[in-house]
């Protein structure tokens, strides 16, 4: 380091050829006592409007993450209900076929299964529409506030 001028070396200045360790020269020896200029009011990085901007960015990030989790949970629930509807459709079909074949009461079981399938399809559609409406209403409500 002897070949490099002290004013050009990292951390060194021409007036103070010692390392400063991040302490700001704020006046009559305060830097040596450990005071820092960045702790003064109005100088800090998160003072005033900057803190509000960081808070708003964190709020937007949190809202976006919550929205993504809500979408994921919603589509997971809809997929699960669709799987259950398909499973019960197959179960009712085979149950109706075998029971009608064994007990010779096809008209009764066909009517019962048609009613049950209609009820199941109605519930699946109802809950899908309800949760979609609920989701849109909650998003609009959150955007209003």
Q: Taking the C-alpha atoms of 139, 141, 144 and 145 in order, what is their torsion angle to the nearest 10 degrees?
A: -110
What is the distance between the alpha carbons of residues 97 and 77, in angstroms, rounded to a whole number?
Answer: 30
73-127 tens-digit pLDDT: 888 888 888 888 888 888 877 776 776 667 666 666 677 778 888 888 888 888 8
Cα atoms in the 13 Å half-sphere on the side-chain side of 48: 6
What distance in Å separates the CA atoms of residue 91 and residue 104, rounded to the nearest whole number? Answer: 19
Per-residue model confidence as pLDDT tens digits over 113-138: 788 888 888 888 888 888 899 899 99
Average pLDDT, the chain: 73
2 and 70 belong to one structural domain: no
Asked if 37 and 63 sit in the same domain, the reply is no
118/55 same-domain check = yes
Assess whether 59 and 88 both reside in one domain. Answer: yes
Its domain, for residue 22, covers 1-44
Q: Are residues 40 and 57 in the same domain?
A: no
Q: How many domains, in total, are found in the chain?
A: 2
Cβ contacts of 52 within 8 Å, gap of 6 or more: none
Query: 128 and 78 in contact (C-beta within 8 Å)?
Result: yes
Query: Both 39 and 59 in a single domain?
Result: no
19 and 55 part of one domain: no
Stated pTM of the model:
0.31
């Amino acid at each position: 380091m002897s070949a490099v001028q002290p004013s050009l070396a990292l951390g060194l200045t021409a007036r103070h050829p010692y390392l400063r360790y991040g302490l700001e020269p704020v006046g009559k020896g305060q830097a040596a006592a450990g005071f820092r200029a960045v702790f003064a009011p109005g100088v800090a990085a998160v003072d005033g409007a900057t803190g509000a901007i960081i808070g708003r960015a964190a709020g937007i990030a949190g809202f976006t993450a919550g929205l993504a989790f809500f979408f994921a949970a919603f589509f997971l629930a809809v997929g699960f209900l669709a799987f259950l509807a398909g499973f019960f459709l197959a179960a009712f079909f085979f149950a109706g076929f075998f029971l009608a074949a064994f007990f010779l009461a096809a008209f009764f079981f066909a009517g019962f299964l048609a009613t049950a399938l209609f009820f199941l399809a109605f519930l699946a559609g109802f809950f899908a529409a309800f949760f979609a409406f609920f989701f849109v209403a909650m998003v609009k409500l959150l955007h209003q506030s």
